[in-house]
Structure 1
């Protein structure tokens, strides 16, 4: 008997083989629902519409503090991103280095959002800028976005100032106008493209991020794949089966990057980028790695940040996030 499950996720290259059916989890008929991340997160966290879905790492960790945690994760990470490049400043705000953020007004979409959790943690740990030394202004990045409302309830530390922006305003314009000094986000504010005053905190972000990785071996995780706990508890075998299928799909994503007869992607110097990335991050020719053991140090660092920033109710162990039968690595 085949188990039918729905799976909501964006159509990343590492998920393409799952989406188009080249990889089929054994004993599972998986219906792939291609939604952008904000829609998936909202529908899953508010209404639990899908059997399996991509989820914000930060939001998922917050759900673990609920009386009956609704999800259990797999060590599968569809989204990862170095976040130094996503910190923007107004050049008139007397900010020339990260340490100058002390006392500044920083716009963020949501306090609990994964990207700002990483960014605040990195700024504090690497540049000695305490989290409570900045004043956070929360709201939409762009005027086209709906009002940002935290999808998972959470508390705030008493010494951290978080202020919602006025209705009708947006962080991108506020940064351009100098009403705030910086933005920590996942997306690039449109004011970066139109205003000479809006620049990156780290103009040489690629060098900074490469140095960060060389020192820490951390490639920040943004999202996990999570199963509704009720579905998992009724069918615990699916955690291992799905993890294996996702590993196969990830492996197949490398194939077009190695193709040399014709370019599969519209990047003229793709080969150079692949070689550069592999030299820095790919000790075995693979730089994007799922699996618990390979990523335990990354998860532990995020959990440290989440707890220190007043989000997680306690400092979880990395093992507590994932289905027990997915913690051991296996060979495909």
Structure 2
């Protein structure tokens, strides 16, 4: 592990923790503008986290250690996932120990614990949300793996840093398979981050909510960690999409000057992505819950088509 690698890794973690709530505030602000509403403050997520961290956590009477530890495990998984995605530099020591399959495993581990915590206290809403969350995960994770495998065929590696180095630092080429994978990744990202049309993060209607049903019993610092983890998850998915489909601007190893330029480039790409997400949500309608399997099955098929297209063209 070099000093430059350690600095790059620490900077990646700090940037993820700091910018994740800002990205959520940016998306919410543009979503309100597109809907002709008064937008909330850009820094509202930070104020919400500060308020929750200073409140007392109230626990259910029969809550077990699973319910108490789930927020810390979920937050840890999301922070670790954000740290292995090459958002600023490809010189990340942690990425050498975890590839794309391990990244999907971190998302799955966080989902399992938040679902177990929701069922732990025995409320109807918690069990309902847990079942829906596991259904979405069961369908979304294979599609995400197929998207990552499509990129791995180009780089001949499942390492995210190798994928970025291969895609960003070679001659410009058109990969039709990545076009299918990009559409599939967008659909999976909407489902995994509880966005319209799969879920509405602003609703508390018991017949439609998924993510909110999981966290109704949390409060105080536990709720703050879960909300922060949700922002980190959206930030991580955004960085995965940028790394796979818009990898330009990521610094190479042993390039301090490129690392300094990578931060404003990342902020600019996230800003454009946040506006696109807000526009997509505004133009979409919330679908019924039983249509979600069809939505994610389509994403899986598109990812598989992208994989097969690349194999056929390469052969």
Say whether the fold is shared (TM-score over 0.5): no
Q: Which has the higher strand share?
A: 1
Question: Structure 1-normalised TM-score?
Answer: 0.28
More RCO (CA 8 Å, sep 6+) = 2
- Larger Rg, first or second structure (1 or 2): 1
Q: Which has the higher helix share?
A: 2
